[in-house]
Amino acid sequence: MINNIFVSSEVGTLLRLIIHSPDSGLGKVVPSKAQDWLFEDIVHLETMRRDEYDFYVKILLYFLDKEKVKGKLDEIDADKSRDFYKPSNKKYFNSDKVIEFEKLLSDILEMSEVRTQLIAAVCAVEECSYQFQNEMAQMQNIDLARVLITGILPNNKMLYPPIPNLIFTRDIGIVVNDHLLLNKPAKYARTRESLLAKYIFFNHPMFEDLQDKIIEITEDENHFLLPEEEQEGRLNTLEGGDVMMVAPNHLLVGVSERTSVEAAKQAIDLLFEKNAVQKVTIVKIPQKRDYMHIDTIFTQIKRNVWVLLGSLGRIQEEAEKQSIWQELGQQPSYEALTIKQFINKDDGVKVKDFANLEDLLSSITKDDLNCYEPIKFIYSGNNEFPYGAREQWTDSCNLLAIKEGIAIGYDRNDKTAEAFREAGFQTIRAAELLEKFEKNELSPESLTDTIIMLPSAELSRARGGSHCMSMPLLREF
C-alpha cells in the first residue's frame, strides 16, 4: 500500500482518492425534503448507479488501479447484482487507490473503542433512542457502516435521515501538500458525514502519519456568547468544493453560499502558522445556489488550461463598461467578484488584489506553475447565450483532472464539449473509451488532451460533477 498522502496541484497525475458510490439513502429522498437535504431533485437510484456512476468507478480504476478491471469488464457488467461495487461483498474491487468511504468506515469500526464512541456520537447528533443505540451496538461492522451512512436499518426501517451529499466526497476535506484541512459544513444536513469523516481521518491507519497535520475549523469562543439568532448567521463554515490546491505554494479558498469569511480567515491563519503554504487566495463569489462552491464556476484541466463560467470571468472590465449607465441610474447586470491574495513573507503577510478571475488563473499558470505556454480559457456553453448558464448548472465547469490534460466531465454539456474540441481536445464517451481500453486500441498511459464524457442524466440532478465526487489523497506532480 502507498503510505504517503500528498497533493500539491489540481492537475498532477492522480494516484489515490476517496469516493462514495450512490447509496440507498439517495433512493429515500422525497420531494418535500429534497432541498432540506441539499438535493435539487429526486433521482432514480438504479439508473444513477448502473448507467452512470459505475462508469466513473471503472474509469478511475482503469487509470489508477488497472489490474482491477483490465480484461474483466464484460464479467463485471454482466453481474446484475453489482457485487463488484459493494464493500460488503467478496467480489468488491477493494482498491487501495480508488477508495470507498464506506470501506474506510467499516475498517475503523473494527476498533472497539472507536466503534463505541462513533455510535454514541451519531446517536447524539441524530437524537436516537437509547434502545436504537443498543441495537446498533449489536450489528456487524459492515452493516453498521451502512446504517451510519444511510440511516436505514437492515429491515429497511429509516432510523434517521440519509446523507445523500456524501457522494460529493470533495466536501469532506482537502489535502494541502502534506496537511489535511477538514470540512466544517454550512448545513445541518451534512453534519453526520462530517462527523464520520473526522473519525476516519483521526483513526484509520492510512492516515496515521497525518495526525499532527490535520487542521480543523472551529468556532471562536465569543461565538457562544452571541444570541441564538446571531449565532446562525456567523458560523465558521468551510466545504472542500471551495478549496483548491492549485500549486505547491498556493491554495485557493472560496467564500460562497457554503464557506464563510470567518472560516476562510481562520484557515489562512492556521495554514500560515503550520507553514503548509505560502500563499492563499480568497475568491468571494455571489452567494447563490447557482454557484454554491468555486469549483462549480471553474476548474483546471492543464497547467495552462482552465474551464470557467464566462459571466464571472472578466467582471471588472464589464463593470467599467457599464459604469456610465449606472451613473445614470441603470441597475448593474453583472455580478460582483472579489479576489484577495494573502502572501506569507518573513516581514509579515502581504495582500494583493486581482480585478478579474482570468487574471488570477493566468497568474497561477505563470507565477506559481512556471508555465509560459499560451493560456487557454474554455468557457461554459462555449460562452454562447443562454448555454453558459444552462451548462454551468449541470456542472460544465466541474471537471476532475485524472492527469494533466485528461479530465472527466458530463456528457450532457454539448456546447462546452464543443469549446473543448475547438481548443484542441478530443471528447469521448466513457463507454466508448472503456471499450477501446479493453480492445487495446487506446491506453490510459498514451491518452493525451482528452475530456471523458460521463453519462449524467441522473447524476446532474444532484448538482455536482466529477470534481465534487472526488477527494484526492495523492497526486504526482
Which CATH number is 423's domain given?
Answer: 3.75.10.10
Backbone angles phi, psi at 213, to 5 degrees: -125, 15
Nearest of 176, 193, 328 to residue 253 by alpha carbon: 176
Domain assignment of residue 233, yes or no: yes
Distance CA 107, CA 125 (A): 22
Distance CA 141, CA 147 (A): 10
Q: Which of 24-38, 200-214, 299-313 has the lowest mean pLDDT?
A: 24-38
Domain assignment of residue 2, yes or no: no
Say what the pLDDT of residue 267 is. Answer: 95
Task: State the average pLDDT for the chain.
Answer: 92
Domain assignment of residue 1, yes or no: no
Say what the pLDDT of residue 2 is. Answer: 46
Domain assignment of residue 266, yes or no: yes
Q: Which of 22-26, 83-87, 314-318, 404-408 has the lowest mean pLDDT?
A: 314-318
Alpha-carbon 40 to chain mean position: 17
Say what the pLDDT of residue 289 is. Answer: 77
65-99 pLDDT tens trace: 999 999 999 999 999 999 999 998 999 999 999 99
pLDDT at position 408 over 60? yes
Domain assignment of residue 403, yes or no: yes
CB-CB contact of 2 with 16 (8 Å):
yes
Domain assignment of residue 7, yes or no: no
155-211 pLDDT tens trace: 888 999 999 999 999 999 999 999 999 988 888 888 999 999 999 999 999 999 999
pLDDT at position 1 over 50? no
Domain assignment of residue 450, yes or no: yes
Q: Per-residue pLDDT averaged across 240-259, rounded?
A: 95
| Predicted TM-score (pTM) of this structure | 0.94
Distance CA 61, CA 58 (A): 5
| Counted domains in the chain | 1
Across the beta sheet with 471-476, the strand order is 98-100, 13-19, 471-476
Angle between helices 141-150 and 191-203 (to 10 degrees): 140
Domain assignment of residue 442, yes or no: yes
446-458 pLDDT tens trace: 999 999 999 999 9
Could you tell me the CA-to-CA distances from 182 to 216, 270, 282 in Å, in that order? 5, 12, 17
Domain that holds residue 184: 13-476
| pLDDT over 90, % of the chain | 79
- The three cell numbers locating residue 463: 448538482
| pLDDT over 70, % of the chain | 94
